[in-house]
A and B are shown apart, each in its own frame.
Chain A
Amino acid sequence: MVAGRALEEAAGQRQAVPGRRGLRLRLWAPVASLLALFVLWQLVAVIAADPRLMPPPGAVLARLAEEAASGELAHHLAATLARVAASFVIAMAIGTGLGVLMGRSLLADLLGQPWLVFFLNLPALVTIVLAYIWIGLVESAAVLAVAMNKIPNVMVTVREGARAIDRSLIEMAEVFAVPRGRVLRHVVLPQLYPYLAAAARSGLALIWKIVLVVELLGRSEGVGFQISIFFQLFDVTGILAYALAFIAIVQLIEWGVLQPIERRLGQWRR
């Protein structure tokens, strides 16, 4: 039926260990693995014996608490998250539209392919620098540069989904004279969901990394800006504290937003 590769793979992984034992394992294995990471970090810090170069986790967490208390952390996180959100929405909307077009129309695919290759291989740094030169050191340039980096990836994933759309269901809807809007909503979109979810997930990971570069190069607030300051001050603790905060936020979005949506849309598979 619908080839929801990403979703099926995820489901397959989750079903690898069945039963109650599997459930407990699923809960504890990631926690243990994360603890191991912190232990390893602590160990390296002790061996390095230079808290300026390699601060231990405790120092980083203390710094994190400090930045949170002063309100600095929230201020910069909010600025970065706003840019991530704006670029994400723009990239998903444009990428989905163009991806569906290329997946459904041979002509669009043939015309779009060389452009796609060009933009897929265009280094993020080049897009960012050019956006700042051509548009100026403004917010719109930053958001546009990030979106431009992500759009080709969304297009490739969604095009794959559009190609996999089950023609026989569209035919059925055609015979029964189902209105276009309803076909799009109930027949086409559900077949694209696994691909949109894959694009959204990889998109979020890519976008926030690029947003930091954009901020480092030409913005005066945000996590990337803070990191550029810490870089000049040789403040490794600050760099790690902000990185940790951002990783936590992205993971919270994954748990709190992406996974619940995916579970709801994938209900019929279980």
Chain B
Amino acid sequence: MAALTVDISGKCFPAVAGAPAKKALGRVAFDVAEGETVALIGPSGCGKTTLLNLAAGLEGEAAGTVRRLAGRRLAYVFQEPRLLPWRTVEDNLRLVLADPSDPQERIGGLLAEVGLLQARHVFASRLSLGMARRVALARGFIVEPGLVLLDEPFASLDAPTARRLRLLLLRLLAMHRTAALFVTHDLDEAIMLAQRLIFLSATPGSLVRELRIDLGPAERHDPAAVARKRLEVMALPDVAALLELDMEDPGP
């Protein structure tokens, strides 16, 4: 049984307040196996976030099925960290726990994993973006999720910070054996983190291609190996066309 099964023939947003109805997604079918990491790549505005929201149950109905493995919790690392600014780092993690009186050690342990043990009693309003992103990651993993959804979790960070956080995510995913579906603009990031890439077309996004990335853990940590793989992927004709599209509209 897969951690997530998506098989939809389309998703439309109804007309609201003068804006015409919009087709956000076309035909998309794939699944994410337990413990597997899958990256969603596509031009901006093609409905990647909509797809994640569908998987999270935030978008209402679509034509087709979106099914998650029952009995496991879900985590979502949003594009903005979405922390409660009026709560401390620790209390932000406690908020999502099934039992908020959970032992201190578990929260402390996870905060240590993301390197934020010192900031445990700091109000979330005082964190830098990089720190807030790490708290958002920790909040995702504290619930021991069966599946974690990530929406460009490292966007608008400086390159070294983004790389540190990617390595952190790689470690967390391996350690917690969590399945992950994540959206990215960055092909290098996708190759470094994911076992499988899914390419979506321009809006309304439909599945164009699936690609397995067979890199070992050591190669994923090696920027040169990742770059070599990227060149290989970019040489594929349909991928090249999609990436051209993205170049014209680099998105936000």
Report how many residues on chain A are interfacial, defined by Cβ distance under 8 Å.
20
Q: Is the CB of B85 within 8 A of A176?
A: no
Any A CB within 8 A of the CB of B95: yes
Chain B residue with minimal CB distance to A183?
B95
Any A CB within 8 A of the CB of B87: yes
Across-interface contacts of B74 in A (CB, < 8 A): 175-177
Task: Looking at the assembled complex, report how far the CB atom of B81 sits from the nearest CB atom of chain A, in whole angstroms.
Answer: 9
Known: A175-B56, A175-B76, A176-B76. A268 touches B95 (CB 8 A): no
Q: Is the CB of A172 within 8 A of B82?
A: yes
Q: Is the CB of B58 within 8 A of A174?
A: yes
Q: Is the CB of B87 within 8 A of A186?
A: yes
Q: Is the CB of B100 within 8 A of A190?
A: no
Cα–Cα distance between A265 and B74 once the two chains are bound (Å):
31
Other-chain residue from A168, A175, A187, A268 in contact with B125 (beta carbon distance below 8 A): A268
Any A CB within 8 A of the CB of B96: yes
Interface residues of B in 76-111 (CB under 8 A from A): 76, 78, 80, 82, 84-87, 91, 95-96, 100
Any A CB within 8 A of the CB of B73: yes
Cα–Cα distance between A182 and B97 once the two chains are bound (Å):
11
Interface residues of B in 116-131 (CB under 8 A from A): 123-126
Any A CB within 8 A of the CB of B143: yes
Cα–Cα distance between A22 and B110 once the two chains are bound (Å):
44
Q: Is the CB of B58 within 8 A of A186?
A: no
Known: A175-B56, A176-B143, A268-B123. A182 touches B100 (CB 8 A): yes
0/1 string, A169-181, CB within 8 A of B gives 1: 1011111111000
Chain B residue with minimal CB distance to A191?
B86
Q: Is the CB of A176 within 8 A of B82?
A: no
Across-interface contacts of A267 in B (CB, < 8 A): 123
Interface residues of B in 213-229 (CB under 8 A from A): none
- Looking at chain A's contact residues, the main secondary structure is helix
Q: Is the CB of B80 within 8 A of A168?
A: yes
Any A CB within 8 A of the CB of B181: no
Interface residues of A in 173-217 (CB under 8 A from B): 173-178, 182, 186-187, 190
Across-interface contacts of A268 in B (CB, < 8 A): 85-87, 123-126
Any B CB within 8 A of the CB of A21: no
Interface residues of B in 23-81 (CB under 8 A from A): 56-58, 73-76, 78, 80
Chain B residue with minimal CB distance to A182?
B95
Any B CB within 8 A of the CB of A1: yes
Across-interface contacts of B125 in A (CB, < 8 A): 268-269
Cα–Cα distance between A1 and B123 once the two chains are bound (Å):
15
Other-chain residue from B96, B100, B126 in contact with A176 (beta carbon distance below 8 A): B96
Known: A176-B143, A268-B123, A268-B125. A186 touches B96 (CB 8 A): no
Residues of A within 8 A of B (CB): 1-2, 168-169, 171-178, 182, 186-187, 190, 265, 267-269
Nearest 10 CB-CB pairings of A with B = A176-B96, A268-B123, A268-B86, A172-B82, A175-B76, A190-B86, A268-B125, A175-B56, A168-B82, A186-B95
10 contacts between A and B (CB under 8 A): A169-B84, A175-B74, A175-B75, A176-B73, A176-B76, A176-B95, A176-B139, A265-B86, A268-B86, A268-B126
